[in-house]
Structure 1
Amino acid sequence: MTIVTSSPLCVAHENHTQKHAPPKLDIDDHGVNPVVKNAEFALKVNIPLLFLARLAYNSIPDCFWSEREGHSDRFGIEWRTGWGEDSRTVHTGYWSLVAAIDRALEEGIPITDPSFYSSEDLCPDALIAHIFRRAAQSSENIPLLKERIAILREVGSILTTQYRGSFQTFLNTLQEEHQGRATALHLVKKVTDTFPSFRDEVSFEGRRGETKSSTASFAADVQYKVCLWKRAQILVAESWAAFHPPTTSNLPHPLFPAGPAIHQLTMFADYRVPQILHHLGILTYPPSLLDLLRNHAPFPSGSREEVSIRSASIVAVERVRREMLELKLAAISDSEGEEDIGEEELEESVSSVMIDFFLWDLAKRVESGDESIEGIQTTEIVPAHRTRSIWY
């Protein structure tokens, strides 16, 4: 499938999705990422604090590719190896963001409190810069600090003035609006409607459409609104995953008591997943785009190249998901004595969210050399595309 028909850049291959459907997935528990292990425990913990931590993580853009990629002096945050650990390490990439928030909380800075981080008096810019101070070995500062501060102020101000400074109140309002049956997608839409800095959308021109008048038909340029919503979806997905039990539980999900319908979300279109999709042959790029990637050419946010890579990745992961559903349905059909699974239950059993989690971790392991793909033909690992953007 070609995403940009006027000038194809990225193609998602149907036959490759059949070869690379990932196995059964579990949520990866990183040491610095606080994850609630089951729904029973979730009902006993301080849920508002966990929500605010998730909101703080995802309010701040995850734009951490480095000009010093692969070097020890790239931007990083020194903190504990994980919660409860005495050893320390330098966290890089996304985990540097999480480590900075965790370190601030340990230092007694209430950075997950919207009434605190929205206030320039209580939380001046200099304090936020201190929270994101680099490790001694790093030669780079955190990118987009000014933009990150502005987003924290915006999100905190909206929560404070409209929702009593509580993400829990925000969630309660959502459930009231949907008579207690709000899903993950409902929450994503409310986040993008409420917080402009989560509204990851572009107007994309390039298709030709036929316009008819009373006297003639003629081709006309058409503008399409492309909604990618990466940070909004990952905020919702990680909040869902924090209460996602590894084993079957009869308790309702704390966020979505009528069911999350998590399968309605897409993958989170940023850097790493497109990179591994290309390595697996699920996406192909033309030579001109490969040259730009190999040379670390910057792609402006909203550019044809960037939107094509991100959009094609969403389509590709949806095809992987569809193939996994077909395999699961075939396995059920071949099993004698198995009870038929309902269509809704089948759809819910495989999500692009979990596929994204798996592929993101796989991409990091392959890039670092800790793992290699065997048994299938792969392409070179080309550098991830470089876009400095608040939307990632």
Structure 2
Amino acid sequence: MDLTLNPMESGDFISRNSKHVKVNAEKCEEVAKKVLDSVIDDSLDKIDYCANPLCPQGLTAEQLCNWIYLLDTLNFSFWPNDGELYDVTYKDKKETGYLALCAAFCKAHDAGIDVTSTEWMSNCPPSTLDEILKSDSGHSIPLLESRAIAMHETADHLIKKYDGEAIEMVKKCNGSAQALLRAVIYIESFRDICFYKGKKVSFLKRAQILVSDVQSALSNNPQYADLVKFEDLGVLTMFADYRVPQVLNYFGALEYSEELTARLKTKEIISHHSEMEMEIRGCSIQAVQLIYLACERLREAEYGGLDWECLRFVYPIHIDIWLWQYRREHSEAVETHIPYHRTRSIFY
């Protein structure tokens, strides 16, 4: 990545220079206590990838890895245009956003479409992808053409370099999250990089979530668990999108300027790579890093009597997923407090 700041460095740099978004360290510590409480009561385990019911059962590890690459390649920009809700019903349950994408592909898989084949991904025309992903309300998923391009690009890369099997990319990374991240961002649609105040910064939301999903999904597989031990999992940051910043602001961990708040409340489009947008994403990374560090301090200071050896370790990626899930479970309260920022982008 040459002189590009990695996501952790980018979050630190942006937060120190931000005009419209500030990180509140005291509120970050309050969130850390909530996260640790979820570790103690085991509710954090419910966010692991394999706990997601919207993943076909009976997939081989190889098929599961291709499934993850497919879903994470298309995991962006679900917020609807006015009057065009993106929702998909699967097994009598209506899903929205990313989970609607999962539901749509589950339905396709159940119908016998080989969606875990990179050959299928490479050859699937936009019209077929549109048919598969069409919402219950009859609307196309946002940025359909961009999704088709991204899917073809990922599939072609896997076919050309890894015999069409995503797990072969994982094998070549020798148990390193950083190595897998670098391999993923060879694919152009994962290269989430831009300039902020003269520095080349990166967020890598989709690339990092792909690494996290692969690690979570394969960690309990006897054949491949050693491949994804990822002793360097802590190099990954939160996945800078539009929902997690929203809930961070709800908790007070992010503070928005009056100008930014007004633009969000009128649902004004925030341009991709604008100063406001990059500050929302960068400060979100920094806030979650502070929550992570607070978790580490609090393990001893306030929870020292617990046998932490028997409890799971919490990295920034786990905090991100906890925040994302909290937003879904408390959507009305969060949405009333502050709308998410509306930015059309293939990167989140």
Q: d(CA) in 2 for partners of 1:384 and 1:252?
A: 38
Task: Describe the SS at the equivalent of 2:228.
Answer: coil
After TM superposition, give the deviation of residue 290 of structure 1 in Å: 0.1
Question: Where does residue 212 of structure 1 map in the other structure?
Answer: none
In the alignment, structure 1 residue 352 sits paired with structure 2 residue 316: yes
Please show how residues 309-324 of structure 1 align to structure 2 within 5 Å.
309-324=280-295
After TM superposition, give the deviation of residue 60 of structure 1 in Å: 0.8
In the alignment, structure 1 residue 48 sits paired with structure 2 residue 67: no
Q: d(CA) in 2 for partners of 1:78 and 1:293?
A: 29
User: Bigger shift: 281-290 or 322-331?
Assistant: 322-331
Pair 1:350–1:78, CA change in 2 (3 A):
closer
Q: d(CA) in 1 for partners of 2:156 and 2:224?
A: 31
Please show how residues 357-372 of structure 1 align to structure 2 within 5 Å.
357-368=321-332
In the alignment, structure 1 residue 186 sits paired with structure 2 residue 179: yes
Q: d(CA) in 2 for partners of 1:359 and 1:35?
A: 26
Task: Describe the SS at the equivalent of 1:349.
Answer: coil
Q: d(CA) in 1 for partners of 2:66 and 2:216?
A: 15
In the alignment, structure 1 residue 283 sits paired with structure 2 residue 254: yes
Task: Describe the SS at the equivalent of 1:358.
Answer: helix
Pair 1:283–1:329, CA change in 2 (3 A):
same
In the alignment, structure 1 residue 202 sits paired with structure 2 residue 166: no
Pair 1:127–1:239, CA change in 2 (3 A):
same
Question: Where does residue 216 of structure 2 map in the other structure?
Answer: 241
Task: Describe the SS at the equivalent of 2:201.
Answer: strand
Pair 1:278–1:35, CA change in 2 (3 A):
farther
Please show how residues 160-239 of structure 1 align to structure 2 within 5 Å.
160-175=159-174, 182-192=175-185, 194-205=186-197, 223-239=198-214
Question: Where does residue 274 of structure 1 map in the other structure?
Answer: 245
Higher RCO, Cα 8 Å, sep 6+: 2
Q: Which amino acid aligns with 1:145?
A: L
Q: Compute the TM-score of the two structures, normalised by the length of structure 2.
A: 0.85
Larger Rg computed on CA atoms: 1
1:27 pairs, out of 18, 41, 46, with 46
Q: d(CA) in 2 for partners of 1:118 and 1:250?
A: 30
Q: Deviations over 1:257-301 (max 9, x none)?
A: 5x4432221110101110111011111001000000001111121
Gaps of 5+ in 1: 37-44, 81-87, 176-181, 206-222, 373-378
Q: What root-mean-square deviation, in Å, do the aligned CA atoms of Structure 1 and Structure 2 show? A: 2.8
Q: d(CA) in 2 for partners of 1:103 and 1:261?
A: 36
In the alignment, structure 1 residue 9 sits paired with structure 2 residue 20: yes
After TM superposition, give the deviation of residue 250 of structure 1 in Å: 10
Q: d(CA) in 1 for partners of 2:224 and 2:296?
A: 24
Pair 1:253–1:353, CA change in 2 (3 A):
same
After TM superposition, give the deviation of residue 359 of structure 1 in Å: 0.6
Q: d(CA) in 2 for partners of 1:253 and 1:261?
A: 15
User: Bigger shift: 304-313 or 123-132?
Assistant: 123-132
Question: Where does residue 3 of structure 2 map in the other structure?
Answer: none
Q: d(CA) in 1 for partners of 2:338 and 2:138?
A: 25
Q: Which amino acid aligns with 1:230?
A: K
Question: Where does residue 159 of structure 1 map in the other structure?
Answer: 158
After TM superposition, give the deviation of residue 27 of structure 1 in Å: 3.4
Task: Describe the SS at the equivalent of 2:102.
Answer: helix
In the alignment, structure 1 residue 390 sits paired with structure 2 residue 307: no
Q: d(CA) in 2 for partners of 1:79 and 1:15?
A: 41
After TM superposition, give the deviation of residue 173 of structure 1 in Å: 2.2
**Maintained 8 Å contact 1:159/1:166:** yes
Question: Where does residue 106 of structure 1 map in the other structure?
Answer: 110
Q: Compute the TM-score of the two structures, normalised by the length of structure 1.
A: 0.76
